[in-house]
Structure 1
Amino acid sequence: MNFLAILKLTIPVMMGYIPLGMAFGLLLSKLLIPWYYAFFMSAFIFAGSGQFLVLTLFASQATILEIGIATFLLNLRHTFYGLSMISTFKHFSWKKHYLIFGLTDETFALLKTTEVPEGNRERAYLLITFLNQCYWIVGSVMGAMLGNILPFNYEGIEFSLTALFVVLSIELYKKNRLHKPFFVALIIGLFGMVLFPPQKMLILSLCAAAFVLIVFKRSMENGK
């Protein structure tokens, strides 16, 4: 798989990451934070929802401990992504450390849906992850710089991340022979919206889904 083919695969992520990154940069500029913070946060944190959360906590003058705990809970879902990629990454070279760092929701979906020959997998995965981070960095820096120059109403632009992940989830559903986990996650998510407090809905729903999928993993794989 050559570079152009990989670039083509990441275009849907680019279409979501650049406008969403710009929304992050605009919010950062609205809080009067220098534009270069957008670059460093996107380069060394690289967690879309986590970065939005950090800005919100900055604005409310939260402590470092509060920011750390909130960010950990928000990004705890990445643990489940990582567990499913252990067998794939374990034979990779030092590059696997960057792949682990860059495993966002959208990158995980791409890695799972992209069919790559085993011998070329490490390079392809590295390029996919790197390109996705570049899109996010470009978008966030553009937004931060434009926010200092132009007045801009960015209400609703943050929904682009949700829309992007829905599209990638549909592609993952089409290419995966096991459909039961998708329905389990959907049902638990819907019940979670009703039963759990809004602030804790995501983490509690993820824990419940993980428990069900782990306990009933074998029966789902066997189609029972």
Structure 2
Amino acid sequence: MQEKIKAFKVAFPYTLPVMTGYLFLGMAFGILLNSKGYHFGWAILMSVFIYAGSMQYVAINLLTIAFNPLNAFIMTLMVNARHLFYGLSLLGKFGESGRKKPYLMFGLTDETFSILCASNPPPGVDRGWFMFFITVLNHSYWIIACALGGILGSLVSFNTRGIDFVMTALFVVIFLEQWKSQKQHAPALIGIGASVLSLLVFGPANFIIPSMILIILVFTLLRRPLENLTSLETTDKLEEVG
């Protein structure tokens, strides 16, 4: 029990920025869902079992049109394809988490991924519990915020035009934070280049999956040079600390 409490205390401060962001993003989702005539209970259920901010926003539109399972599957794949990269890059860390691994995989969002990549627990703190509490705290913030948005939407009338742009703004902020926290920008530049090229070739409606495939191919071909760059960055950080 002591190690869990210790891990919780260490993990909590890392999640405070996410709590602030999720408060607005989740409330915006709850308000939008309520504007389509859905009770706030649906916002809670979607947040518990789907827990994918961008896909939950897309799901609002899917709920208002004729049900098409194939279209829903393809749309989900396109929107959340980036999680393939998240999972691959965290296989090593998640391998140490034991029975917590399934939930860590389920709860991996953009914000949680960013924290797990940029931070490590101090000596004496169990890494598995540290990652677990970061994940469960972020998940809890999202559920609460979505519920508040649904309740608020049922009590007050809102003009919801443009409110879904908050997800785009969040992704831009996450990218900028990752850019600032890393000295080597080659992976980010590869992702931008592949996405722009796919956008020009396939168009706005179909570029996401081709860009993901192109990024995987480029990363596979350039694996050794990129690993060398990462090793150099790690060495520089150790020298700075020393």
- Corresponding residue number in structure 2 for 1:110: 115
- Corresponding residue number in structure 1 for 2:233: none
Q: Is the 8 A contact 2:55 2:76 kept in 1?
A: yes
Q: Report the TM-score when normalising by structure 1.
A: 0.89
Structure 2 residue ranges without an equivalent (≥5): 1-5, 230-242
Q: Does 1:90 align with 2:95?
A: yes
- Shift in Å, 1:171: 3.5
| 1:6–1:155 CA distance, 2 compared to 1 (3 A) | farther
Q: Is the 8 A contact 2:57 2:164 kept in 1?
A: no
Q: Does 1:141 align with 2:144?
A: no
Determine the C-alpha separation between the residues in 2 that align with 1:178 and 1:217.
14
TM superposition outliers: structure 1 runs of 4+ over 4 Å? none
Q: Is the 8 A contact 1:25 1:35 kept in 2?
A: yes
1:19-98 to 2 correspondences below 5 Å: 19-98=24-103
> Alignment partner of 2:39: what SS?
coil
The residue type equivalent to 1:145 in the other structure is I
Q: Is the 8 A contact 2:7 2:126 kept in 1?
A: no
Determine the C-alpha separation between the residues in 1 that align with 2:195 and 2:29.
26
- Shift in Å, 1:122: 0.8
Q: Is the 8 A contact 2:26 2:146 kept in 1?
A: yes
Farther-moved stretch of structure 1 (172-181 vs 76-85)? 172-181
Q: 1:176-214: CA deviations, max 9, x gaps?
A: 454211111122233333333211222222221121111
- Corresponding residue number in structure 1 for 2:3: none
Which one of 174, 189, 196 corresponds to residue 168 of structure 1?
A: 174
Taking only the aligned residue pairs, the percentage that are identical comes to 38
Q: Does 1:205 align with 2:211?
A: yes
Structure 1 residue ranges without an equivalent (≥5): none
Determine the C-alpha separation between the residues in 2 that align with 1:16 and 1:161.
10
Q: Is the 8 A contact 1:6 1:127 kept in 2?
A: yes
Determine the C-alpha separation between the residues in 2 that align with 1:78 and 1:204.
15
| 1:197–1:59 CA distance, 2 compared to 1 (3 A) | same
Determine the C-alpha separation between the residues in 2 that align with 1:164 and 1:91.
30
Q: Is the 8 A contact 1:28 1:144 kept in 2?
A: yes
> Alignment partner of 1:112: what SS?
helix
Superposition RMSD in Å: 2.1
- Corresponding residue number in structure 1 for 2:194: 188
Q: Does 1:159 align with 2:165?
A: yes
Based on CA coordinates, which of the two structures has the bigger radius of gyration? 2
- Shift in Å, 1:36: 0.4
- Corresponding residue number in structure 2 for 1:101: 106
Farther-moved stretch of structure 1 (27-36 vs 158-167)? 158-167
Determine the C-alpha separation between the residues in 2 that align with 1:195 and 1:15.
38
